Structure 1
Amino acid sequence: MEHRPLGRSGLAVSTYSLGTMTFGAEADEATSHRMTSQYVDAGGVVLETADVYAGGLSESVVGRWLAAQGSRTRDRVVLATKGRFPSRGVEPRDAGGSRRNLRRSLERSLRRLGVDHVDLYQVHAYEQVTPMEETAGFLEDAVRSGMVGYAGLSNYTGWQTATMVALAAGRFPLVSHQPQYNLLVRETEYEIVPACRAGGLGLLPWSPLAGGWLTGKYRRDARPTGATRLGEDPGRGMEAYGPRSAREQTWEVLAALGEVAEARGATMAQVALAWLHDRPGVASVVLGVRTPEQLEGNLGAVGLHLDEAETARLEEASAPTPADYPYGPAGVAQRTRALG
């Protein structure tokens, strides 16, 4: 597996990370441990979790795997977690980006993980009540205390990202941003990607397969059923079947993806991961899986790079179609007009 610096830092990360949102929920502990070992054996080093995943069980499952491996594996792994939302046993009023909540969230995460520090601590989302100066102050203190090696963001917009970059300058290493980004969600490129590249943040995209859509398992003429995310809950979250299936572009992207995958002799999932893996600013793509078989298939994307024609085919099909201003042709022309 290839490795890259995480943003403008010296922290080397594998180009695929293991997301653990399913651990303790959709994957039992034995299966979760098997997948973690499978991932590390393939050369991966980034274990990505959060205090709210499975109500905190994900962190505990990861912690018990680390304890069973010993110090050499802990030294090898880049351990990343997040805080901001109410976790198990926490009152909603105590959530958010305040010093009080983030300190308590981090302390609970360290206990569950069984470690004295994490390599990367990310604020899980912007929060409109707490001033960003306060959140930045907590991150500075957490880094200075040694509880956190590097700080990051998740689900921030472009202006929020740029503001945090300015607040972090000269105070603490803000090195990452974890947004949703995939062939069906390219609006991330409007402001978030440029803000991250300008601020020296490495992108850690979540949902690279758009909740399973980019595997090709969903059909226009059949609502999903069975043991899949949408089969169990067709209205689930941002990838809900109804709204996404109603967009003609969804099926155009899947058709293009299928063509490239067939010509390559790869799966649609592998091609979608390879496309995202090589997008500007991306440091590591977060793989979210429920079974060892899914993980094995995703790891088949390791070393796969698309050529210019394949990339162009996918980008043509998946290009967002904004109105003229500010992200459409008129806005772009205005911002890029030559002087004189």
Structure 2
Amino acid sequence: KVRYIGTSNFLGWQEVELLWAAKEWGLTGHVSSQPAYNLLDRRAERELLPMAQSYGIAVIPWSPLAQGFLAGKYRRETVAPKGGRLTDYAGVQESGGLDSHSQEQVFDVIDVLVALAAEKGCSVSQLALAWCMNQPGVTAPIIGPRTSEQLADNLGACTIAMSAEDQRRLDAVIPPGHMLVHYMRATSAPRARW
């Protein structure tokens, strides 16, 4: 028996239609949503996060570290390390990867993250996760550590405080609702009504 259901990669209007259908059929609506959401892909802020807050839907973002881009190992001046997702994950290249303009913008965001993390005395990944956790409407990000060290580092994000000034600095390089990483050009949910 299914007790609770959730969605993944749905747009806000699709989530509302799902809630409407559940109500019309006398069923319990879904309780959670899993969008791609991180500092390099903020599209969920356009409609999904406000919708979720209005309807009491838990938002559990996947890829809060943008498949490793926000983990602190990719820098403008360094080559991507072997064994990292940027070199090993074919999906980045297959979906268009990063063009040179987007790559520069991504590194602008990473530069601000690196500087801010140094000021706070935390890792870049901790700061990126803390940012995600502190966004209105986010319940908890889904983390995907590959090692116990990464897990310990990720959990340290719970102790990082984000100020309004921190948010302003990050918003200046990646405004709310914008997207820079093209590893998922659009959500995979259906585009038509049923």
Partner of 2:191: none
Q: Secondary structure at the match of 1:213?
A: helix
Distance 1:272 1:240 in 2: 23
Partner of 2:70: 214
2:139 counterpart (255, 260, 283): 283
Distance 1:271 1:206, change over 3 A: same
Structure 1 residue runs without a partner (length 5+): 1-146, 323-340
Q: Secondary structure at the match of 1:300?
A: helix
Partner of 2:53: 197
Distance 2:100 2:63 in 1: 17
Q: Does 1:178 align with 2:34?
A: yes
Partner of 1:152: 6
Q: Secondary structure at the match of 2:31?
A: strand
Distance 1:206 1:239, change over 3 A: farther
Distance 1:242 1:173 in 2: 36
Q: Secondary structure at the match of 1:171?
A: coil
Distance 2:68 2:99 in 1: 12
Q: Contact 1:220/1:245 (CA < 8 Å) preserved in 2?
A: no
Deviation at 1:231, TM superposition (A): 2.3
2:91 counterpart (217, 236, 240): 236
Amino acid at match of 2:138: V
Deviation at 1:307, TM superposition (A): 1.3
TM-score using structure 1 length: 0.48
2:15 counterpart (150, 155, 161): 161
Distance 1:156 1:307, change over 3 A: same
Q: How does 1:264-303 map to 2 (within 5 A)?
A: 264-303=120-159
1:279-310 deviation digits (Å, cap 9, x = unpaired)? 11111110011111111111111232211111
Distance 1:287 1:239, change over 3 A: farther
1:211-255 deviation digits (Å, cap 9, x = unpaired)? 00011211335542411112224x433897941664132112111
Higher strand share: 1
1:8-39 deviation digits (Å, cap 9, x = unpaired)? xxxxxxxxxxxxxxxxxxxxxxxxxxxxxxxx
Distance 2:118 2:94 in 1: 25
Amino acid at match of 1:237: V
Q: Secondary structure at the match of 1:153?
A: strand
Distance 2:94 2:111 in 1: 18
Distance 1:202 1:214, change over 3 A: same
1:258 counterpart (114, 119, 122): 114
Distance 2:72 2:96 in 1: 13
Distance 1:255 1:241 in 2: 23
Q: How does 1:14-53 map to 2 (within 5 A)?
A: none
For these two proteins, the number of residue pairs brought into alignment is 175
2:164 counterpart (308, 315, 331): 308
Q: Contact 2:64/2:143 (CA < 8 Å) preserved in 1?
A: yes
Amino acid at match of 2:108: E
Distance 1:239 1:207 in 2: 18
